[in-house]
Amino acid sequence: MYVYKYPRPALTVDCVIFGLSENENALKVLLIERADEPFKGMWALPGGFVNMEETLDQAARRELEEETGLKNAFIEQLYTFGDPDRDPRGRVVSVAYYALVNLSQHSISAGSDARRAEWHLVTQLPPLAFDHHLIFCTALKRLQGKVRYQPIGFELLPEKFALSQLQRVYEIILGKELDKRNFRKKILSMGLLVELPERQKGVPHRAAKLYRFDKEKYRQLESEGFMFEI
Amino acid sequence: MYVYKYPRPALTVDCVIFGLSENENALKVLLIERADEPFKGMWALPGGFVNMEETLDQAARRELEEETGLKNAFIEQLYTFGDPDRDPRGRVVSVAYYALVNLSQHSISAGSDARRAEWHLVTQLPPLAFDHHLIFCTALKRLQGKVRYQPIGFELLPEKFALSQLQRVYEIILGKELDKRNFRKKILSMGLLVELPERQKGVPHRAAKLYRFDKEKYRQLESEGFMFEI
DNA sequence: CCAAAAGTGTTGGGACTACACCCATGA
DNA sequence: TCATGGGTGTAGTCCCAACACTTTTGG
């Protein structure tokens, strides 16, 4: 069993980058228009080959940054897709990641390498290249599952947010309406939100209190066995 | 961006195979003693290279079968480990899987390829080769998380089992005692267990009713939005 | 008859659901 | 002053945790 005598699949990372469009109240995904064959002209998830000297996480972050300019977004490995004929060019195994970014504070550029990158509503995706539709569905399911028992909803919001914004995040991801009073009670009772002195500005109605998520406190509570749950 | 111009990491699968030793009331993992360098003589997770014409799942099942003879055990992709220096021989990316098998009904052979294979208590693992300790810890955490909201505890038991056996599975995996009456109430109220006409045999006390898990019913309930939870 | 595990109900407290009105603000 | 979302409390229900004794069986 010697490492070098075996043929090797090519190895890539693909990223499902979720963004929250707050004005449209919708969840979006960043897609790239393919410039080359195969699937030339089709939409695809951003991705690329893993360099020999970088970790998989680094490869995924590199892709994320190339496409969005973001360096510190939430990112997590999703699943590895390795069907032998998922790529017509040959055996390509892809480690998929998903990322959560706050769409409203970043005008995503067109992509560093001049590929056309656009945000698409998750409810109206065009046909995708390769098995990217499968990857996307896997990511969405994971997001919907994870958002209920881990505090990742915050990752889609700016650092300072109002409770109604947070509630909307959950409603959008879970696809159902939540009761305002119950939601506030629940989320505030966890003691993970810090009320800020500021308030919303420039809204044509009563300005909401702003909060931030207390990551430190969460880490501490978590280590004591606390379980976040919506 | 052409597939063939990039150098490629080697690609392997590694399997964390969990077994339940009912007599010892303990969770075990199958380890292999390495016959070659690097880490010759150390214990490691069973694993091997992915063939060019098989899926990752197939590769993992192949490894599982080679080590245990089991063809239809529960198996699931865990995580992909790709640190550039996780293998001293060069860049090797490993897709890790975990499997659940019923240890008491199979006397696992010594491994088809004459490697020494042994079950080890998860509480008393020897030092492991490569990053296999990390992989193992990831698998254990996943198992502990998943067992609470997916019916995978059954996979560690024979098809026919008593409620006390099932309770023990949960106690072993979660590492805490559960209340007998509450456990029975909860698990029976889900309506996923079918009471069998038989009973335990050859026990020096009152023989327990035997049950089997109704996979069909679970699939149906699941599709209607039902959530398993312990 | 003894040891060992199987089997069985009730109660109190905490959490979740459902639900409607007044408040503050900018236009 | 109006439109828009911000902000608040209660009552009923359900679920969960805690808890101890009787039954069956083989040795």
User: What's the Å distance between residue B211 CA and nucleotide D18 C1'?
Assistant: 27
Residue A1 has pLDDT above 50, yes or no: no
Rounded to 5 degrees, what are φ and ψ at B31? Answer: -120, 155
Q: Which residues have CB under 8 Å from A6's CB, separation 6+?
A: B10, B49
pLDDT digits (tens, 9 = 90+) for A70-111: 999 999 999 999 999 999 999 999 999 999 998 876 666 545
On whether any CB of chain B is under 8 Å from the CB of A11, the answer is: yes
pLDDT digits (tens, 9 = 90+) for A32-75: 999 998 999 999 999 999 999 999 999 999 999 998 899 999 99
Q: Residue A84 is nearest to which of B54, B82, B87, comparing CB atoms?
A: B54
CA distance A57 to chain B (A): 9
- Band of the pLDDT at A22, cuts 50, 70, 90? confident
Q: Residue A56 is nearest to which of B48, B82, B92, comparing CB atoms?
A: B82
Q: Using a 7 A cutoff on CB, list residues near strand C.
A: A 179-182, 185-186, 202-207, 229; B 162-164, 180-182, 184-185, 199, 203-209
Q: Residue B9 is nearest to which of A52, A79, A91, comparing CB atoms?
A: A52
Domain A151-223, CATH class in plain words: mainly alpha
Q: What's the pLDDT score for residue A108?
A: 61
- Asked whether A190 and A136 are in contact (CB, 8 A), the reply is no
Low-confidence ranges of chain B (pLDDT < 70): 1-5, 105-114
Overall fold of domain A10-146: Nucleoside Triphosphate Pyrophosphohydrolase (3.90.79)
Q: Do A3 and B77 touch (CB under 8 A)?
A: no
- The residue ranges of every structural domain in chain B are 10-146, 151-223
Q: What's the pLDDT score for residue B1?
A: 47
pLDDT digits (tens, 9 = 90+) for A184-214: 999 999 999 999 999 999 899 999 999 999 9
- Looking only at the bridges linking them, the beta strands covering B92-101 and B74-81 are antiparallel
On whether any CB of chain A is under 8 Å from the CB of B115, the answer is: no
Q: Do A93 and B56 touch (CB under 8 A)?
A: yes
CA distance A82 to chain B (A): 6
Residue A3 has pLDDT above 70, yes or no: no
- Using CA atoms, how far apart are residues B85 and A205, in angstroms rounded to an integer? 57
Residue A23 has pLDDT above 90, yes or no: no
Chain B 34-53, residues with CB within 8 Å of chain A CB atoms: 36, 48-50, 52-53
CA torsion B95-B100-B103-B106 (nearest 10°) is -70
Q: Compare all CA atoms of chain B with the CA of A5 and give the residue at the minimum distance.
A: B10
B33, B50, B66, B97, best to mutate vs chain A, most A CBs in 10 Å: B50
Q: Choose from A5-9, A56-60, A114-118, B202-206 the range with maximum mean pLDDT.
A: A56-60
Q: Which nucleotide is nearest to A204 (CA to C1')?
A: C26
Residue A151 has pLDDT above 70, yes or no: yes
CA distance A84 to chain B (A): 6
Q: Residue B80 is nearest to which of A52, A54, A77, comparing CB atoms?
A: A77
| Assigned token pair, A127 | 């046909």
Residues of B in contact with A54 (CB under 8 A): 84
Per-residue pLDDT, averaged over A17-21, amounts to: 93
CA distance A211 to chain B (A): 30
H, E, C per residue of chain B: CCHHHCCCCEEEEEEEEEEEECCCCEEEEEEEECCCCCCCCCEECCEEECCCCCCHHHHHHHHHHHHHCCCCCEEEEEEEECCCCCCCCCCEEEEEEEEEECHHHCCCCCCCCCCCEEEEEHHHCCCECCCHHHHHHHHHHHHHHHCCCCCCHHHHCCCCECHHHHHHHHHHHHCCCCCHHHHHHHHHHCCCEEEEEEECCCCCCCCCEEEEECHHHHHHHHHCCCCCCC
Q: What percent of chain A has a predicted confidence (pLDDT) above 90?
A: 85
Q: What's the pLDDT score for residue B6?
A: 76
